Amino acid sequence: MTKPIYILNGPNLNLLGQREPEVYGHLTLDDIQQRCAAKAKDLGFEIEFRQSNHEGVLIDWLHDANVNASAVVINPGAYTHTSVALHDAVRAIEPPVIEVHLSQTAAREDFRHHSYIAAAAKGTISGFGLASYLLGIEAAVQSLNT
């Protein structure tokens, strides 16, 4: 049986819809989950969609993905800019990992310009809102097929 694509979400993303809508839009994380499930289904995959505010939990889920996922799409939230431990976890696992962001982090505050994840991920998609996730799923499937 084909393993699911893990879609992992970091801190504060549970507040989407009410959190800075001018930056992150009006969709909730549940809306994003539903759209991701539909997109993945079109491409022949199930998803495992999770969110945590805790760095160690995200690391545990990356280790879990190493065994149980085909690929990973991750929005690490602010841990993008701080976490060597997440960088190491992404490097440590076999499935392709695609980093996604709703906002265009390069066009925001200086502290968002550096990503610890980018150097370990297969690629990064940033700035397209919901479409960043959907493109991330496409990129994940494409990297499985090449």
Nearest-approach distance from CB 145 to ligand DQA, in angstroms? 26
Q: Active-site residue among 24, 79, 116, 133? A: 24
Nearest-approach distance from CB 80 to ligand DQA, in angstroms? 6
Query: Does 12 sit near ligand DQA (CB under 6 A)?
Result: yes
Host H or E run for residue 55: helix 55-68
Query: Among residues 3 and 112, whose Cβ is nearest to ligand DQA?
Result: 112
| Burial group, residue 135, by CB count within 10 angstroms (0-12, 13-18, 19+) | middle
Is 24 assigned a catalytic role? yes
Tokens of 102: 């709703």
Q: State the Cα–Cα distance between residues 133 and 51, nearest whole angstrom.
A: 14
Q: Is 49 helix (H, G, I), strand (E, B) or coil?
A: strand
Q: State the Cα–Cα distance between residues 120 and 117, nearest whole angstrom.
A: 5
Query: Does 103 sit near ligand DQA (CB under 6 A)?
Result: yes
Query: Among residues 4 and 25, whose Cβ is nearest to ligand DQA?
Result: 25
Query: Does 102 sit near ligand DQA (CB under 6 A)?
Result: yes
Q: Which residues bind to ligand DQA, rule: CB under 6 A?
A: 12, 75, 77-78, 80, 101-103, 105, 112
The catalytic site residues sit at 24, 101
